[in-house]
Amino acid sequence: VSPPNLPAGSSKIILFGMRPDHINQKSKKPTYAIVALPIPVDRLFTYAIPPELAEGVRPGVRVEVPLGRRTTSGIVIELTHQSDVGGIRPIKSVGDTHLSPALMKLTDWVASYYGCTFGEAAQSVIPPSFRQAKVKRSAGGFARLAVSGAAFTRAEEEVGRAPKQLRLLHAMKECGGAVEVRTITEEWGFSRTILNQVIKKTWISIEPVVERSHLGEIDRDVVTLNTDQELSVQQLIDATGSRTFSPFLLYGVTGSGKTEVYLRAARHVIVNGGGCIVLVPEISLLPQAIARYRKHFQNEMAVVHSRMTGPERYDAWKRMVEGECRLVLGPRSAVFSPIQNLRLIIVDEEQDDSYKQGEKPRYHARHIALMRGKFEDLTVVLGSATPSAESYEHTHKKRYTRLELPDRVEGVPMPRIDIVDMKVERVEGTSFSKTLLDRLKTCLGSGGQSILFLNKRGHARYVQCSACGWVAQCKHCDISLTFHRIGGTLRCHFCGFSQNALPACPECSASRLFFTGVGTQRIELDLQTFFPGVAVLRMDADTTSGKEGHLRILEKFASGSYSILLGTQMVTKGHHFPGVQLVGVLNAEDELNFPDFRSAERTFQQLTQVSGRAGRVGRRGEVVVQTYMPDHYVFSYLKTNDYDKFMNEELKVRKLLKYPPYSRLVSALCISKDKELLERVTEAWALTLRRTIGRENVAVLGPTPPIIERLKGSYRLQVMVKGHLTAREKRGVVERFNEITLRMKTGRAVDLRWDVDPQSFY
DNA sequence: AGCACGCCGACT
DNA sequence: GTCGGCGTGCTC
């Protein structure tokens, strides 16, 4: 790959101060490079450029440099002729990747917005593990399933004790019987040996490689779009033609054919010489997405994901930089892809939390997509059946254009949702209501399958009255209070409010307060009592351990030999099961009472998603939601499937309490083994922050113990800043912290971890 | 972040 | 006597 075509000094951004004039003097070769390193030191380092590397060292390129005893890889920010730093060492080598000026600018923005150094941010933009390596591209060609119908069934029987071959056959069938060989070996992870065996048995045939895809031609499998889809596609096409930043919210109910809209828009962009990024939430959903996109874009498409090896990643990077790949599909990190002539970014299931990165830099891919769209004049499509409050509000304020797909395409009716009041209906000593038991019985009787969903959210334990459904809440934050064993208190982990644990319910004075937390094993036992001999498949952290544990269980259930699938969150995602008639939600509360201001939003999103699993073509599914709070607005709007009304209600609450999207949050976690010291430092820091950045609309909350007070032998305290901070103020927040630890001579005994726009609170 | 240096208590 | 715990300071 040739180095970026950047004459020195052409980069539009000015990083870390002014660019000296002499850089533009082209007569002399610059002798020093200013390099950003992946360390949390807010300073750039100067290195000498050896004459033999002078050709390759340009702003944006990756370079290997000595740092103390080790070698690290950094990004060249700019070149200079002179330097007054002492002890300058030479660059060791020039790496094989670089950042384009546009991605340099984006990296700079990520660093300043999320509060890390340029070098740290750059690690997310181009992963460092590339290295020069022989990239073995698997033999090209197209694999075609040679058996179908009865022959396929015969093959299934003949395959005998060869589960991998069977899985390959099923995978092939699922994606329409024809895929590229590289999809099988690289993306699905089947070894060439497995493939060869199946070829030998003549169940799969290999055809020569398709050189370029036939994008100009009509779809092979012609799908007719409905009017709403057509309208959406047309608007997206117009927007990409305008070459201005155009954000859209594609709001389409589950099964309304959003993907088909994405495909058409992407195809249009690519046919016209543009490039496209498609983000999908989780790696577990990637294989299906790959199969679908591969049909349309074949070898003009790249896939990136975290499990790729260095060389694979480099191969994909190179194909994008060289313009060979016009579309990239992947999880959050794909938002930084160096696709040439980028015109469109699609963020599917934009409300999904997995777009938020857990490690530094804790960026949100949706946010990055929008910023990139702004910087590079792109069309950005956020798609969801249950949009995030943030996107919903932006759309409401007309900052995003709303596109709507209100109808399901395959004629599967929306399921019937019943909200069951557990205060009245609970069968003593169990977690079941009478209604759910009756429905289960009917479903079992007719040979249908059911999914039971048991919500479990972390370790937060809230307090609820089983007589009236009352839940202990913070009077300031509208968030459930969390029971802390230390001191036996109920605390709001958001603002720090604390009160003693209660002996009885303040609403109905019954002494039937309970702490939450039932496991799947317990439910399984209950099921055995109610329905002896019924095949129950349990899916939770215990049963899904090991490689592809999820997939194995889901395949088992899909095979039809089990009547009930019982599990936690993981049952809500992945495969579609056509045999499922009934979905039961055992404790809808658990999500709703999670101490997080987004809990109502999440509950609605999650329940909408599980509900989507019930029913099939021509048959309306049934959903039973058990709750002690049937009057909560989440449930009333869920019942009628009215997301707009729900969101309007939800946004009123957010506005009243100044939560996002009406404010921004920065959460900081202070961590130390020394409890006393931690308290002193955090207290002092919060006080200083209140003095320095506290003002109207900027509040400093805490310090307060997070849900997990102690982790790995360290104590933790949280400080939350609510309001809109400038980049300068954000930097100030960390500086104040450093000043305090310095003044108190604590050294590194207190660690600071912070998160801009946190999505979850621990 | 890593890594080395250096100071203290614990063990063969 | 040395091993290794982690507090401290530095990296072009």
Strand C within 7 A of A1 CB: no
Please tell me the predicted confidence (pLDDT) of residue A339.
97
Residues with CB under 7 A from strand B: A 39-41, 68-70
* Model confidence at A254: pLDDT above 80: yes
How far apart CA A289 and CA A698 sit, in angstroms, is 42
Cα within 13 Å of Cα(A110), Cβ side: 31
The C1' atom of B8 and the CA atom of A730 lie apart, in whole Å, by 39
pLDDT band at A285 (very low <50, low <70, confident <90, very high): confident
CB count within 10 Å of CB A380 equals 24
The C1' atom of C10 and the CA atom of A68 lie apart, in whole Å, by 8
pLDDT band at A206 (very low <50, low <70, confident <90, very high): confident
Least confident of A120-129, A318-327, A629-638, A721-730: A721-730
Report yes or no: A589 and A514 within 8 Å, Cβ to Cβ: no
Q: Please state whether the peptide bond connecting residue A40 to the residue before it is cis, i.e. omega within 30 degrees of 0.
A: no
The C1' atom of B2 and the CA atom of A628 lie apart, in whole Å, by 52
A180 - beta bridge partners? Answer: A142
Nucleotide nearest to A41 (CA to C1'): B1
How far apart CA A39 and CA A361 sit, in angstroms, is 12
* Average pLDDT estimate for A553-571: 82
Share the mean pLDDT of chain A: 83
pLDDT band at A740 (very low <50, low <70, confident <90, very high): confident
Strand C within 7 A of A745 CB: yes
Nucleotide nearest to A69 (CA to C1'): B3
Any idea which residue has 């000026």 for tokens? Answer: A101
> Sign of torsion, CA A560 A562 A564 A570?
negative
Please tell me the predicted confidence (pLDDT) of residue A110.
95
Nucleotide nearest to A85 (CA to C1'): C12
Q: Which amino acid, one-letter code, is at A296?
A: H
Q: Which two tokens stand for residue A738?
A: 């450093």
Report yes or no: A525 and A517 within 8 Å, Cβ to Cβ: no
* Model confidence at A56: pLDDT above 90: yes
Between A345 and A753, name the one with better pLDDT: A345
Strand C within 7 A of A170 CB: no
* Average pLDDT estimate for A709-731: 81
Nucleotide nearest to A90 (CA to C1'): C12
The C1' atom of C7 and the CA atom of A395 lie apart, in whole Å, by 52
pLDDT band at A5 (very low <50, low <70, confident <90, very high): very low
Q: How far is CA A549 from the centre of its chain?
A: 21
Report yes or no: A484 and A491 within 8 Å, Cβ to Cβ: yes
Q: Would you mind telling me the total number of residues written for chain A in this entry?
A: 762
All residues at 6 or more sequence positions from A624 whose CB lies less than 8 Å from its CB, including other chains: A418, A420, A433, A435, A436, A439, A582, A583, A584, A585
Complete DSSP assignment for A200-219? HTTSEEEE---SS--TTS--
Any idea which residue has 């943030």 for tokens? Answer: A390
Between A335 and A216, name the one with better pLDDT: A335
* Model confidence at A212: pLDDT above 50: no
Strand C within 7 A of A43 CB: yes
Report yes or no: A714 and A671 within 8 Å, Cβ to Cβ: yes
Cα within 13 Å of Cα(A131), Cβ side: 7
The highest-confidence range among A31-35, A190-194, A576-580, by mean pLDDT, is A31-35
N-to-C CA span, chain A = 44
Q: What is the 3-state secondary structure (H, E, C) of A94-150?
A: EEEEECCHHHHHHHHHHHHHHCCCHHHHHHHHCCCCCCCCCCCCCCCCEEEECCCHH
* Model confidence at A52: pLDDT above 90: yes
Least confident of A147-161, A384-398, A510-524, A578-592: A510-524
Residue A353: left if φ>0, alpha if ψ -120 to 50, beta else—which one? alpha
Q: Where are the alpha helices (DSSP H) in A496-642?
A: 520-530, 549-558, 589-592, 599-611, 633-639
Strand C within 7 A of A714 CB: no
Report yes or no: A210 and A262 within 8 Å, Cβ to Cβ: no
Measured at the CA of A344, the angle between CA A395 and CA A36, to 5 degrees, comes to: 100
All residues at 6 or more sequence positions from A95 whose CB lies less than 8 Å from its CB, including other chains: A61, A62, A63, A64, A73, A130
Nucleotide nearest to A87 (CA to C1'): C12
Q: Which amino acid, one-letter code, is at A188?
A: W
Coil, strand or helix: which one is A557? helix
pLDDT tens sequence across A482-527: 776 666 777 776 677 778 877 788 878 776 676 665 567 778 888 8
How far apart CA A355 and CA A75 sit, in angstroms, is 25
The highest-confidence range among A65-79, A300-314, A564-578, by mean pLDDT, is A65-79
Please tell me the predicted confidence (pLDDT) of residue A10.
38
pTM of the model: 0.82
The C1' atom of C8 and the CA atom of A713 lie apart, in whole Å, by 22
The C1' atom of B2 and the CA atom of A70 lie apart, in whole Å, by 8
Which nucleotides of chain B are near protein (any atom < 7 Å from a CB)?
1-4
CA distances from A78 to A8, A64, A133, A338, A609 (A): 8, 15, 27, 20, 49
* Average pLDDT estimate for A241-254: 95
Residue A627: left if φ>0, alpha if ψ -120 to 50, beta else—which one? beta
pLDDT band at A478 (very low <50, low <70, confident <90, very high): low
Which nucleotides of chain C are near protein (any atom < 7 Å from a CB)?
7-12
Strand C within 7 A of A747 CB: yes
